[in-house]
């Protein structure tokens, strides 16, 4: 993203007629800010240019409001991108500027390449100076908009698939209520096709690959490697006896719930006798850490061009989790696990979020490290290769 320079920001600040600009004297109402981010990301007029939110200027004339712009505020504003309220994750940057002697926080929002964007299940758009909920016709316009030809794999239509390949009963009874605000469903004037297109589950009349993975009747029939291979090994080497093995298949929710159950079943509690003969029981692994790392592997793995599964190999001294596909996009070995996020599979990430398996984006690895440290486990070891990412979690000593 190339943000506007100082001259362009000055021009936009005083352009009271622009529908690309929002002005706020403070950041006190974060809900309104998120609605504005959502609306600018949707770019209903089709400008193809970033929208700008100024914080610290008066809405009616752009004059300086004298707001305090500090690092804490900038961090909080930047965090709104990844807190799971705006789906798909918007592309934005937050900066502090001094414009004609006035300190302001500037949020620059790029038009989404995967509209419509929702805030808490509702599509918001900007019409002139007003931000409001989108009409059915406006949602349809956003759904049909093609911003780029390089759609990620899970957003592309699956050749030869049809609506009959989706589990529509599951979708209507379970998924829609998680993905769309209830008041929108209650006042629904959209056909099922329109709803699915709006959620990026249909491309025209064809299911996307992400829809087949998350809502399909037979996901592995379409993507053979879309499963988790679980091995419990009685020893520390791959050649040691196998105690149990499972192939976790089905829809994304089925795979993830089976995985949660297996992780919980295989954790052992260790008893320590402390001073005064008090017993303290601690797990050899915190289940939250293993869940976060395994879900991360399912979310960020490469699905296209490989039949390899996500692997969870549980040895007597460690758990190894491996997924096909190296690090993606802006994520590098240097910034991995420090909040940097990019998505090989944005629709898979969106579906996992709606189903409750990804509450916040970019939070999984830091949370795993934190819970491992609190439990007394060693630091996990990450191995990044061009064709895979692996993490080794060591049992508590």
Same domain as 157, residue 185 = yes
Give the tens place of pLDDT for each residue, 187-232: 877 888 889 999 999 998 999 999 999 999 999 999 999 999 999 9
Residue 93 lies in a domain: yes
Return left, alpha or beta for 276; rule: phi > 0 is left, psi -120 to 50 is alpha, else beta: left
Q: Is residue 343 part of a domain?
A: yes
Query: How far is residue 340 from each of residues 168, 332, 362, measured CA to CA in Å?
Result: 35, 9, 6
Residues 123 and 201 in one domain: no
How large is the average pLDDT for residues 220-247? 97
> How does the average pLDDT of the chain come out, rounded?
91
Residue 128 has pLDDT above 90, yes or no: no
Q: Averaged over 266-277, what is the pLDDT?
A: 74
- Answer whether residue 103 shows pLDDT above 80: yes
Average the pLDDT over each of 125-134, 272-281, 342-351, 367-376 and give the range with the smallest value.
272-281
Per-residue HEC secondary structure of the chain comes to CCCCCHHHHHHHHHCCCCCCEEEECCCCCHHHHHHHHHHHHHCCCCCCCCEEEEECECCCCCCECCCCCCHHHHHHHHHCCCCCCEECCCCEEEEEEEECCEEEEEEEECCCCCCCCEECCEEEEEECCEEEECCHHHHHHHHHCCCCCCCCHHHCECCCCCHHHECHHHHHHHHHHHHCCHHHHHCCCCCHHHHHHHCCCEECCEEEHHHHHHHECCHHHHCCCCCEEEEEECCCCCCCCEEEEEEECCCHHHHHHHHHHHHHHHCCEEEEECHHHCEEEEECCCHHHHHHHHHHHHHHCCCCCCCCCEEEEECCCEEEEEEECCCCCCCCCCCCCCCCCCCCCHHHHHHHHHCCCCCCCCCHHHHHHHHHHHHCCCCCEEEEECCEEEEEEECCC
- State yes or no: pLDDT of 335 exceeds 70: yes
Q: Give the per-residue pLDDT at 1.
A: 62
Percent of the chain whose pLDDT exceeds 70: 95
Residues 264, 375 within the same domain: yes
The CATH number assigned to the domain holding 359 equals 3.30.565.60
Contact, 313 vs 319, CB < 8 A? yes
Q: What is the total count of domains within the chain?
A: 3
123 in the same domain as 176: no
pTM confidence score: 0.82
Residue at 1 is within a domain? no
For the stretch 251-261, pLDDT in tens is 999 999 999 99
Residue 198's domain spans which residues?
151-222
For position 181, what pLDDT does the model report? 87
Mark whether 182 and 201 lie in a shared domain: yes
Final residue before a domain boundary, out of 199, 222, 245: 222
Task: Verify that 53 and 84 share a domain, yes or no.
Answer: yes
Q: Do 99 and 115 sit in the same domain of this protein?
A: yes
Let me know whether 234 and 321 are in one domain.
yes
Q: Does the pLDDT of residue 279 top 70, yes or no?
A: no
Return the higher-pLDDT residue of 355 and 182: 355
Report d(CA 285, CA 388) in Å as an integer: 24
Q: How many CB atoms lie within 10 A of CB 378?
A: 14
Judgement on whether residues 284 and 366 belong to the same structural domain of the protein: yes
The answer to whether position 137 is within a domain reads no
Which segment of 26-40, 248-262, 266-280, 328-342 scores lowest on mean pLDDT?
Answer: 266-280
Last residue of a domain, one of 222, 253, 269: 222
29 occurs within a structural domain: yes
CATH code for the domain in which residue 36 is found:
3.30.950.30
Does position 370 have pLDDT exceeding 70, yes or no? yes
Residue 269 falls inside a structural domain = yes
Highest mean pLDDT among 10-19, 111-120, 345-354: 345-354
Determine the pLDDT at residue 337. Answer: 84
Domain boundary among the residues 169, 203, 222 is at 222
Res 277: pLDDT: 59
* pLDDT at residue 148, rounded to an integer: 44
Locate 370 and state its tokens. 């934190």
Which range, of 125-129, 316-320, 365-369, averages the lowest pLDDT?
125-129
For residue 273, the model assigns a pLDDT of 62
Q: Provide the pLDDT for residue 140.
A: 81
Q: What is the pLDDT of residues 24-76, one digit of tens each?
A: 999 999 999 999 999 999 999 888 899 999 999 999 999 999 999 999 999 99
- Same structural domain for residues 234 and 174? no
User: Does the pLDDT of residue 158 top 90, yes or no?
Assistant: yes
Over residues 21-26, the mean pLDDT reads 95
Do residues 204 and 247 both lie within one domain? Answer: no
Does 143 map to a domain?
no
State yes or no: pLDDT of 278 exceeds 70: no
Do residue 379 and residue 266 come from a single domain?
A: yes
Mean pLDDT over 15-26 rounds to 91
Compute the C-alpha angle 175/179/182, nearest 5°. Answer: 100
Inside any domain, residue 140? no
């Amino acid at each position: 993203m190339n943000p506007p320079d100082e001259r362009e920001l000055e021009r936009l600040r005083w352009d009271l007629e622009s529908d690309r600009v929002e002005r706020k004297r403070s950041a006190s109402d974060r809900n309104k800010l998120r609605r504005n981010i959502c609306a600018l990301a949707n770019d209903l007029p089709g400008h193809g240019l970033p929208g700008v939110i100024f914080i610290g200027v008066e809405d009616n004339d752009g004059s300086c409001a004298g707001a305090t712009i500090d690092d804490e505020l900038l961090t909080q504003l930047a965090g709104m991108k990844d807190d799971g309220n705006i789906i798909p994750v918007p592309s934005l940057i937050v900066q502090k500027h001094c414009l004609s002697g006035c300190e302001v926080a500037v949020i620059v929002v790029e038009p989404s390449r995967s509209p419509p964007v929702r805030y808490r299940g509702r599509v918001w758009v900007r019409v002139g100076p007003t931000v409001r909920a989108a009409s059915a016709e406006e949602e349809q316009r956003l759904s049909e908009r093609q911003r780029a030809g390089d759609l990620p794999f899970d957003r592309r239509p699956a050749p030869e698939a049809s609506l009959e390949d989706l589990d529509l009963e599951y979708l209507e009874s379970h998924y829609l209520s998680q993905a769309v605000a209830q008041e929108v469903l209650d006042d629904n004037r959209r056909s099922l096709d329109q709803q699915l297109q709006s959620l990026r589950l249909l491309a025209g009349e064809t299911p996307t690959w992400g829809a087949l993975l998350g809502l399909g009747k037979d996901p592995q029939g379409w993507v053979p490697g879309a499963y988790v291979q679980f091995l419990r090994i009685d020893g520390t080497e791959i050649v040691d006896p196998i105690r149990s093995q499972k192939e976790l298949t089905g829809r994304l929710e089925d795979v993830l719930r089976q995985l949660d159950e297996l992780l919980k079943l295989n954790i052992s509690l260790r008893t320590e006798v402390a001073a005064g003969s008090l017993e303290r029981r601690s797990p050899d692994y915190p289940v939250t850490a293993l869940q976060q790392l395994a879900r991360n592997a399912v979310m960020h793995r490469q699905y296209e061009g490989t039949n390899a599964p996500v692997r969870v190999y549980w040895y007597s001294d460690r758990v190894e989790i491996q997924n096909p596909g190296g690090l993606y996009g802006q994520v590098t070995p240097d910034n991995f696990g420090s909040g940097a996020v990019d998505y090989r599979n944005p629709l898979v990430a969106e579906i996992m979020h709606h189903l409750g398996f990804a509450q916040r984006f970019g939070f999984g690895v830091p949370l795993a490290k934190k819970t491992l440290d609190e439990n007394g486990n060693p630091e996990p070891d990450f191995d990044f290769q061009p064709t895979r990412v692996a993490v080794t979690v060591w049992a508590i000593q």
